[in-house]
Amino acid sequence: MTLATVLLVDDEVHSLASMRMALEDDFDCLTAANAEEAVKLMDENYVQVIFCDQRMPGRTGVEFLTEVRDRWPETVRIIITGYTETNDMISAINEAGIYQFMTKPWHPDQLLMTAKNASQLFELARENDRMSLEQKYLHHTMETKLEQQRKALREGLGFENVLRAPNSPLNSVLTAARQYASFDVPVLLTGEAGVGKTQIARAMHYTSLRSDRSFYELNCAGMSAEMIELELFGAKRGAIPGLQTNKIGLLQKADRGTLFLNGVESLSPELQLTLLRVVTEGAFQPVGGYETVSTNMRLLAGSHVDLRARVADGLFRADLYYALSVTELNIPPLRARSTDIAVLAQNLLFEAAQAHGKPVHGLSDNALDFLENYDWPGNIKELENEVTRMLIFAQEPILGPELISRHILQADPSEDGADRRAEEVLTSEGTLKDRVELIEMRILRETLTRLKWNKSRAAAELGLSRVGLRAKLDRYGITPPRRAPATEE
C-alpha cells in the first residue's frame, strides 16, 4: 500500500528529526524549516496531514495553516505549540480551521496516534466527498430517467395514441378534451359502450398537471352496489367476512391522481348520494369505518346513456349530474366514424398478429370496404373481435373479404350502403316482393364474396343454375368489388 504523506514544518532541526523518526515507519515524511519551503512542498506533493510548529521565523504556524486551508482545504492541519501559548491558540485554531493542536513536549506514541487519526479523517472526508458526488450524480441521473419515462408514458398514452383518420369526426371531440385536460374540473364522457371513453379519459390524465400521478379506472356497469362501494371507498378489517386487513379504496389510491368512474348511470341512489359528497367535499368514509378520509383526486365520469334523460325520469340525481358534468364530452359511435374504421382495423390486426405470433401484411381494400359499411353496434370491441377472427382463419398475408363474418358481408360496399340488419328488413315498410328481394340480394352478395366470386360454387350452394345466377346478378345490379374478378370455375 502507498503510505500517506505527512508534511513536518519546524525551524528546529532536532524537532524535525524526532518527528520523522516517530512517523517514518508508517508515513512518507516531508520536512520544511519554514512556511515558504512548506508551500513549495505542498505545490509539488499530495499531502494528507501537516504538523506545523507555531513559533517560526517569518510567518507563524497559524498564518501558514490559514493559507493551507484556503488552497488545500482537504489537508488535515495540526499545530504544535508550547504550554504558555494554549490560551492564545483557541481563537487562532478557529481562524485557521485547525483539526488539533499538540503541546510540547509531545510523546512519540502520541504523535503517531495523532497522525494516524488525522490520516483516517482525511480518507473519510475524501470518501464522503466521493459518495456525495456519486449521490448527486445518481440522483440527477434517476431524475432524468424518471422524467424520460414520464414523458414516454405521456406520449404513449396521450391523445396522439387515439387512432383516427385525418378527417375523423372524433377530431373536434379530442380538441375539446385537450382543453378540458388542463383544467382540474370534473368531466362527463358519454357514449355507447366500446367507443373508447376510457382511452380518452386516460389521455386527458396524461395531458393534465396530474400526469406524474396514477390513473385508475372502475367500470360500474354490471357490478353490485356492495362491490362498487368496497372498490371505491375501501373497508376496515373485519367489516366484511374474510377481510383480515384494511382494504384501500380507489378514492384513496387516486389521491392527487385521476379516477375514471365509468358506467355511473348504474349507481344506486345511496351510492349517488355518497359520491355527491366525494365530488363536492372530497371526503368519504370506508366501509365499516367512522373516521372521515379526505381525497384530492380528479374525477372523470363516464356514462353509456344520456344522463339528462335519466335525470328527467328521476333515475339519477340532478345535483350529482351537474356536479359531474362541469364539462361534457360526447364520444360518437363507430358507425358515425366510418373513415376511422380502416385505420383502426389495420392497427388492431397488427396488434393481434403480434400477440398471436402470426405475421400478416394487412387487410385488402375489398375487405375494408365491407368493414367500413357495417354498423358495428359493439363499436371498437366488436371490430377487434372480427379482425382477430379473420386472423385466425387467414391463409394468406393479405386478408380478403371472404374471411369476414356473413352478417357483415351482407352490407353493400358502396357509399349509400344498404340495410345491414335482417331485423330491419323484416320489420320495415314495403311490399312483400320488395322485402324478399332485398333479403335475396344480400344473400347473393354475401355468398359470392365468401366464395371469392366463384359463380359455379355460388350457384351450386344456392341451388341455382349458372344462367339463373347470372340473371339474378343482372337484375339486382350486383357486380364484383374492385380487384375481385369473377370466375366461372
Question: Can you give the pLDDT at residue 385?
Answer: 94
CA–CA distances in Å: residue 381 to residues 200, 313, 333, 399: 15, 30, 12, 19
- Which domains does the chain possess? 5-126 (3.40.50.2300), 160-332 (3.40.50.300), 335-476 (1.10.8.60)
User: Counting beta carbons within 10 angstroms of the beta carbon of residue 393, is it exposed (0 to 12), middle (13 to 18) or buried (19 or more)?
Assistant: exposed
CA distance 360 to 365: 15
CA distance 448 to 457: 9
Angle CA(190)–CA(196)–CA(197) in degrees, nearest 5?
40
Question: Can you give the pLDDT at residue 129?
Answer: 78
CA distance 138 to 135: 5
CA dihedral 32→33→34→37, nearest 10 degrees, is: -40
Q: Write out the chain's pLDDT in tens, 489 residues.
A: 578 899 999 888 888 999 999 998 899 999 999 989 999 998 889 899 999 988 888 888 888 888 888 888 888 888 888 755 555 566 666 767 788 878 888 888 888 999 999 888 888 888 887 887 777 777 666 666 666 555 555 555 678 778 888 888 899 999 999 999 989 999 999 999 999 999 999 999 988 888 888 899 999 988 999 999 999 998 888 777 777 678 889 999 999 999 999 999 999 999 999 999 999 999 998 888 888 889 999 999 999 999 999 999 999 999 999 999 999 999 999 989 988 999 999 999 999 999 999 999 999 888 888 888 888 989 999 999 999 999 999 899 999 888 888 888 776 544 444 444 445 555 566 677 666 767 777 777 767 676 667 777 777 777 777 777 777 777 777 777 654 444 544
**Could you identify the residue written with the cell 335475396?**
440
Question: Can you give the pLDDT at residue 412?
Answer: 53
β 298-303/258-262 pair status: parallel
CA distance 235 to 206: 29
Structure pTM?
0.60
Instruction: Read off the C-alpha cell for 117.
Output: 487519526
CA distance 100 to 438: 106
CA dihedral 247→253→255→258, nearest 10 degrees, is: -140
- Angle between helix 35-44 and 61-71 (nearest 10): 20
Through-space distance between the first and last CA atoms of the chain, rounded to whole angstroms: 93
CA–CA distances in Å: residue 94 to residues 269, 383, 464: 75, 80, 113
SS3 per-residue string spanning 145-192 = HHHHHHHHHHHHHCHHHCCCCCCCCHHHHHHHHHHHHCCCCCEEEECC
Contact 251, 278 (CB under 8 A): yes
Angle CA(86)–CA(89)–CA(91) in degrees, nearest 5?
135
β 49-53/293-294 pair status: unpaired
Provide DSSP, 267-281.
--HHHHHHHHHHHHH
Q: How many CA atoms lie within 13 A of 250 on its CB side?
A: 19
User: Counting beta carbons within 10 angstroms of the beta carbon of residue 222, is it exposed (0 to 12), middle (13 to 18) or buried (19 or more)?
Assistant: exposed
DSSP state of 411: S
Question: Can you give the pLDDT at residue 268?
Answer: 92
